């Protein structure tokens, strides 16, 4: 028991700033949703539609960032600063190129928005917002890579404060551009997109300044940045990042498709979905922060040959995650109406959101388990078979079940969310079995 408590303490010491960093990252979306909700239901629904389309490129970018984090964590565990520096250099320039590609793909998608079965009033206002969010991917992907590099070396605090500064800037810019303060025109949803884009570029600029000048990270920085990329290192990142990105594509893509299905029920269900998914994603950052710490700590332990220690810290992390998610679930059940009313004054949207949040409360328990188990597997560099597990759970089980309940069963948005919750539960069971079997046979 004393060993478990010691490992829990170490996990929490690393996880707390990671949790805060993830929450601060989500606060950009949360503040956007809170402030856009005051503009109107249609704008809120448009934000949901745009964010559903951005799940796919975001997953690809996160996949690369996680690959960098895993490689740096293993290099850090072996005390090989030079390897960590090469991973950063190659990963950073790959992220810049990937940001350009993803931005181009987002721009190219705009002419096809009208063919996705969404309400016409939503389609009318979403293009400008999507353009600005797409442009911000030039900053988003490199930012995630730098963040992953610092966190993998147990240096998350400065990154956290920089991200919180970006959130504060976003709130100020939102107020100015959405509602038209300080003599600026009120731009509504488009203003929110501009504000988020500017805040993300500012965050990247400050993060780069910190990276170059940090004494704590100096030993792991590449001595020369501008030279030919290392094909071997790039190949490692691609081979690791592709299945990791694939896992995220599967899960986030399922939720994105869920949003598109919900949009066919009208603007009110889509607006309610946006509130619910924003709340769920924000509280999900809590176990995600624990999971990121697990990836790093399991990576350190496995590279040092400490398999038993990896199992102990994973067991403790699962207990921490369950406690966190139980508290969040209780909040959604008992305070759902107050939460919904903080986003909008539309009574229809509020009533529907309350019903969705009950389902969110249930699947958050599963979400905490699956994200920590999946993170431990990534720390072991086991990424291929878990990808198959997630594909089956979300695309063979969750989406068909949600569509059947929603359209055939007449449950609408509640049916779609129920299907997603079921798939998440199956993923939690399957990934947990996988990770414990791996630990027993290493």
Annotate 118-135 with DSSP letters as a single string: --HHHHHHHHHHHHHHHH
CB 137 within 8 A of CB 151: no
Asked whether 422 and 277 are in contact (CB, 8 A), the reply is no
pLDDT tens, position by position, 51-75: 878 878 888 888 888 888 878 877 7
Q: Is 188 left (phi over 0), alpha (psi -120 to 50) or beta?
A: left
pTM value? 0.78
The string over 257-266, giving b where at least 16 C-beta atoms fall within 10 Å of a residue's C-beta and e elsewhere, is: bbbbbbbbbb
Could you write out the three-class secondary structure of 210-273? HHHHCCCCHHHCCCCCCCCCCHHHHHHHHHHHHHHHHHHHHHHHHHHHHHHHHHCCCHHHHHHH
CA dist 59 and 237 (Å) reads: 15
Q: Which residues contact 184 (CB under 8 A, 6 or more apart)?
A: 176, 177
- Kindly calculate the radius of gyration of the chain based on its CA atoms and give it in whole angstroms: 21
Q: What is the pLDDT of residues 317-327, one digit of tens each?
A: 888 888 889 99
Tens-binned pLDDT, residue by residue, of the chain (442 aa): 566 677 767 777 777 777 776 676 677 777 787 788 878 888 888 888 888 788 788 888 888 888 888 788 777 667 677 788 888 999 999 999 999 999 999 999 988 888 877 888 888 889 999 999 999 999 999 999 998 888 777 777 788 889 889 989 999 999 999 988 888 888 888 999 999 999 999 999 999 999 998 888 888 788 888 888 889 888 988 888 887 777 778 888 888 888 888 988 888 888 898 888 888 888 888 888 888 788 878 877 777 677 777 777 878 888 888 888 999 999 999 999 999 998 888 899 999 999 999 999 988 888 888 888 988 888 787 778 888 898 999 999 999 999 999 999 999 999 999 999 999 899 999 999 998 888 776 6
């Amino acid at each position: 028991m004393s060993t478990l408590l010691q490992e829990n303490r170490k996990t929490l010491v690393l996880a707390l700033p990671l949790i805060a960093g993830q929450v601060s990252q989500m606060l950009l979306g949360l503040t956007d949703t809170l402030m856009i909700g005051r503009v109107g239901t249609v704008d809120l629904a448009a934000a949901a539609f745009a964010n559903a389309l951005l799940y796919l490129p975001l997953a690809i970018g996160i996949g690369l960032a996680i690959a960098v984090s895993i490689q740096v964590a293993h290099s850090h565990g072996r005390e090989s600063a030079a390897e960590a520096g090469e991973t950063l250099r190659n990963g950073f320039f790959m992220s810049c190129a990937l940001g350009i590609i993803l931005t181009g793909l987002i721009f190219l998608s705009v002419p096809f928005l009208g063919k996705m079965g969404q309400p016409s009033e939503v389609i009318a206002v979403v293009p400008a917002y999507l353009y600005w969010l797409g442009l911000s991917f030039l900053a988003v992907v490199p930012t995630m890579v730098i963040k992953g590099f610092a966190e993998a070396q147990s240096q998350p605090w400065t990154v956290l404060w920089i991200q919180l500064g970006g959130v504060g800037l976003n709130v100020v810019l939102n107020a100015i551009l959405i509602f038209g303060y300080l003599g600026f025109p009120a731009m509504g949803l488009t203003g929110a997109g501009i504000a988020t884009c500017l805040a993300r570029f500012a965050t990247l600029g400050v993060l780069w300044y910190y990276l170059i000048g940090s004494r704590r990270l100096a030993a792991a920085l590449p001595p020369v940045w501008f030279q030919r990329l290392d094909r071997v290192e790039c190949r490692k990142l691609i081979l690791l990042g592709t299945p990791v990105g694939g896992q995220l594509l599967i899960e986030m893509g399922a939720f994105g498709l869920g949003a598109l299905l919900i949009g066919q029920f009208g603007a009110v269900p889509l607006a309610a979905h946006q509130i619910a998914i924003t709340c769920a994603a924000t509280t999900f950052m809590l176990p995600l922060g624990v999971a990121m710490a697990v990836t790093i700590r399991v990576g350190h332990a496995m590279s040092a040959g400490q398999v038993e220690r990896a199992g102990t810290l994973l067991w403790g992390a699962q207990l921490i995650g369950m406690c966190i998610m139980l508290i969040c679930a209780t909040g959604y059940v008992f305070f759902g109406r107050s939460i919904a009313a903080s986003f909008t004054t539309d009574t229809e949207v509020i009533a529907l959101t309350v019903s969705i949040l009950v389902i969110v409360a249930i699947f958050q328990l599963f979400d905490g388990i699956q994200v920590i188990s999946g993170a431990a597997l990534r720390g072991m560099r086991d990424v291929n078979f878990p990808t198959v597990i997630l594909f089956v759970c979300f695309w063979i089980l969750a989406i068909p079940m949600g569509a059947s309940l929603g359209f055939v069963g007449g449950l609408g948005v509640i049916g779609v969310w129920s299907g997603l919750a079921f798939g998440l539960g199956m993923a939690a069971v399957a990934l947990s079995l996988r990770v414990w079997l791996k630990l027993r046979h290493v």
